[in-house]
Structure 1
Amino acid sequence: MMFIDIGNSYIKVAEYDQGAWDLKLRVPHSQLDEAVHWMTMLTKTGTRFLASSVVQAITDNLNRDLGKHIQFVRVADFPEKRINYSTPQTLGSDRVLACQGAYSLSNGKSVIVVDAGTATTIDYMDQHGVFQGGVIAPGISSMEAGLFQHAPELPKVDRIRPAIWPPKSTKEALQWGLTGSYQSLVRDHIQRFLNDDHTAVIWFSGGDAEVLMNLGGIKSKYHPNLVFEGLRSVDLSRFIESKP
């Protein structure tokens, strides 16, 4: 069994082997055809895939090309009592699975999960394993892309928050406006959850998580593969033989 995480920008495939994740493939959506060819070759050896996807077009392509060899975990596959969300039909399975993965690693404690990708999600799962919702915000790469698209004369800057305040140069002003603002946004939402549940374990994941790892006063853990952990923790018996 291999696991697939299809996010807003990348397709990732991994295998869990001897207690560790082995990332087999990470490609942008533009390389979908190459990814499908590689996965199709694996199906000839009996490999099956359990997947999470937030991109319906890619889901449709993989269902068509891999058929019975792939199964997607949907929010609807979770018991209703475990999803406390007004519009579950619009809820991305990756958000629930990332929380489920963190919850499975936290010995039954509630979790706050920050997945820092193209979009940044900050979600909460309580001590009973109930997904309670959260925030969707721009990722730092999206913030940068939006700013520089509309203000192309501004210089590109490293993702650090300067020690000096107030900023005394355009470079420092941009670093505070981008990295500083992004960190403040995430910290503020984490704190709102902590105000209600100070025992929650905070987890960071996603490609841009390193920007957030040193938020002052917040003790956290990091795991690069929380969605994969969530997929691994679901009841596989419900999926392995579910496709004709």
Structure 2
Amino acid sequence: MSNFAIVKFSSSFIDPLKQFVVDIGNTRIKTAQFEEHRMVDEVYFEDFDAFRAYSGTIAFDHALISSVTYTSEVLRDLLDFPFLFLSKSTLIPIKNLYATPETLGVDRKAAAVGARCIFEQGPLLTIDMGSCITYEILDEEDQYFGGAISPGLKMRFRAMHQQTARLPLLDLPLGEKPELIGNSTEKGMKSGVYYGIQHEMLGFIAAYQAKYPNLRVIICGGDSKIFESLTKDHIFVIPNLVLYGLNRILTYNVHLQ
């Protein structure tokens, strides 16, 4: 992974001593503790009860939860600590120019904000590799425009299996780089998914760079490490970028109170 530095979004803010952010996704619960802008702990859970038990063992001043599986009301009944719930109406420190803001996933906003935590200036492209692959553009004036959405790695394997009669259900373990020319059905499927995604990303990056010179790119999300070989001088792989974005959104709202 290339080296990078976490920068303060604005020197006018002084963060609370300790903050706790939680990203409840479709398959995992990702948590992180921050002191100012520095992540001091990062813990993932497969089970909600394990996460709930863990949350009772740590101390923090403020918390934020983003969830695609639980509503705010359900979480407030289940958890014993107060928190800000990330919703479509939560204020964020970038200008949202998405044409249909009511349909914009909160994780996409968090990824864009997280990118600005890493690079203080210039246009940014965030590629979040989760269930879907999302592309987010933030210009040098902190204007968010949206980007693109395509099927993620596991979704592509699952689609080939479910929409055909004989193709097996496959996955691509971390560290396995498929052969370009697959000499079997399984190898051909792995080649198609891996290189299809790689060429898609490189194609999007080239197209966005033509529109935004000096564009920096951050690849994040659960499958980002599979494509760590793409790292170069303007492309960075930071799997936990969304957690940095959630912390920055929490800080922004705390200081608006």
Question: TM-score scaled by structure 2?
Answer: 0.77
> Cα deviations across residues 85-142 of structure 1 (Å, max 9, x unaligned)?
1111111111111111111211212110011111211111111111110112111011
Whether 2:30 is the aligned partner of 1:23: answer no
The answer for the alignment partner of 2:177 in structure 1 is 160
> What is the correspondence of 1:35-46 to structure 2 with a 5 Å cutoff?
35-39=51-55, 41-42=56-57
The answer for the alignment partner of 1:50 in structure 2 is 64
With 65-74 and 7-16 compared, the bigger mean Cα shift is at 65-74
Indicate the RMSD between aligned Cα atoms, in angstroms. Answer: 3.0
User: 1:157/1:236 Cα in 2 relative to 1: closer, same or farther (>3 Å)?
Assistant: closer
| Aligned residue type for 1:162 | E
| Aligned residue type for 2:151 | P
Quick one: which of 193, 211, 226 aligns to 2:208?
Answer: 193
Q: Give the secondary-structure state (helix, strand or coil) at the position aligned to 2:189.
A: helix
C-alpha distance in 1 between matches for 2:124 and 2:100: 21
The answer for the alignment partner of 1:105 in structure 2 is 118
| Aligned residue type for 1:130 | Q
* Contact 2:21/2:243 (<8 A) preserved: yes
- Higher helix fraction (1 or 2): 1
With 194-203 and 72-81 compared, the bigger mean Cα shift is at 72-81
Whether 2:24 is the aligned partner of 1:6: answer yes
C-alpha distance in 1 between matches for 2:230 and 2:256: 44
User: 1:97/1:69 Cα in 2 relative to 1: closer, same or farther (>3 Å)?
Assistant: same
C-alpha distance in 1 between matches for 2:112 and 2:125: 8
> What is the correspondence of 1:217-228 to structure 2 with a 5 Å cutoff?
219-228=234-243
Q: Which runs of 5+ in 1 are unaligned?
A: none
Once the 2 structures are TM-superposed, how far is the Cα of residue 216 of structure 1 from its aligned partner? 9.1
| Aligned residue type for 1:5 | D
The answer for the alignment partner of 2:5 in structure 1 is none
User: 1:157/1:218 Cα in 2 relative to 1: closer, same or farther (>3 Å)?
Assistant: farther
Q: Give the secondary-structure state (helix, strand or coil) at the position aligned to 1:77.
A: coil
User: 1:202/1:2 Cα in 2 relative to 1: closer, same or farther (>3 Å)?
Assistant: same
User: 1:105/1:138 Cα in 2 relative to 1: closer, same or farther (>3 Å)?
Assistant: same
* Contact 2:112/2:137 (<8 A) preserved: yes
* Contact 1:103/1:110 (<8 A) preserved: no
Question: TM-score scaled by structure 1?
Answer: 0.81
Q: Which runs of 5+ in 2 are unaligned?
A: 1-18
The answer for the alignment partner of 2:14 in structure 1 is none
User: 1:114/1:143 Cα in 2 relative to 1: closer, same or farther (>3 Å)?
Assistant: same
User: 1:12/1:157 Cα in 2 relative to 1: closer, same or farther (>3 Å)?
Assistant: closer
Quick one: which of 69, 74, 92 aligns to 2:82?
Answer: 69
User: 1:75/1:200 Cα in 2 relative to 1: closer, same or farther (>3 Å)?
Assistant: farther
Quick one: which of 240, 247, 251 aligns to 1:236?
Answer: 251
Once the 2 structures are TM-superposed, how far is the Cα of residue 235 of structure 1 from its aligned partner? 5.8
C-alpha distance in 1 between matches for 2:163 and 2:52: 36
